[in-house]
Amino acid sequence: MDIDQPEVVGFFDHKTFSVQYVCIDRVNNRCAIIDPVLDYDENAGRTRTDSADEIIEFIAARGLTVDWILDTHPHADHLSAAIYLQQHFDAPRAIGERVVEVQKLWKKIYNFGDDFATDGRQWDRLFAAGDRFKIGELEAQVMCSPGHTLASITYVVGDAAFVHDTLFMPDFGTARADFPGGDAATLYRSIQQILELPDETRLFTGHDYMPDGRAPRWQSTVGEQRAHNPHLQGVDENAYVALRKARDAELPLPALMLAALQINTRGGQLPEPEDNGTAYLKIPLNAF
């Protein structure tokens, strides 16, 4: 068994088209959870933990120990279940260090008060580009991959790279770059850095939108992306930026964005209940 080839198990959330991952050191039965989803029904204003509980059940059935709970960026399309999972596994939560820039940006959008900290203290560790850490005995390294958001990072674990919202499956394309702090040219450069990994590197994407009604998929390789991704064929940076801007102009905002960023810039912490025992979300009207 090659210790540099982690086992990767994906859990697909059909509502948000998101993929949650458990990255496993099979030799030592230790793992990391990546981009976990806290279910949210925006019509009822109700959170549920079904998706995270599925991961908890899987980890218990496999007898795994959780070393890390990781987010690749502050998500705009789902709420993070990192804090809920930490209550079960007592593992550190981490994200990229540039989350502090995202916090400052969205603090202004939401007009949060002085009690909203913008120094990343809501997480146990903030990763910088080039940082290394262990999942069991697996070596993991952090790549800075901004463009979709200011704070997006890629986790490279052995022959696996968790590329979040940069590259989607080769039959679909790449991520949008029109959210506050996003930038298409920066995203293009981040993608090029990912494509410098060896051709056989397994890439695990953050979403799958099932073109032509196919079943959900979330694993490709660098070689497959180079050969087949429609956004990368004979396209330089200027052409990519034009392509990305034209496509992004046609896309609606994610349904959960204004709820999700309010939670995810807090590390997944829900707002404190008010004096009636109920917590409230704050929605900026006519801001977008």
pLDDT score, position 29: 97
pLDDT score, position 182: 95
pLDDT score, position 3: 45
Helix (H) or strand (E) holding 138: strand 138-144
Running DSSP on this structure, what letter comes out for residue 213? G
Tokens 């603090």 sit on residue: 107
pLDDT score, position 288: 86
Which residue, 212, 50, 180, 49, is CA-closest to 106?
Answer: 180
- List the chain residues with pLDDT less than 50: 1, 3
Contact of 170 with 227, CB cutoff 8 Å: yes
Helices (H) and strands (E) in the chain, counts: 7, 15
Running DSSP on this structure, what letter comes out for residue 50? H
3-state SS, residue 160: strand
Amino acid type, 103: Q
Contact of 123 with 68, CB cutoff 8 Å: no
| Residues in contact with 267: Cβ distance below 8 Å, sequence separation at least 6, in sequence order | 80, 82, 83, 93, 95, 122, 123
Does the 7-264 domain belong in CATH 3.60.15.10? yes
In tens, the pLDDT along 136-188 reads 999 999 999 999 999 999 999 999 999 999 999 999 999 999 999 999 999 99
Q: For the chain, what are the domain ranges?
A: 7-264
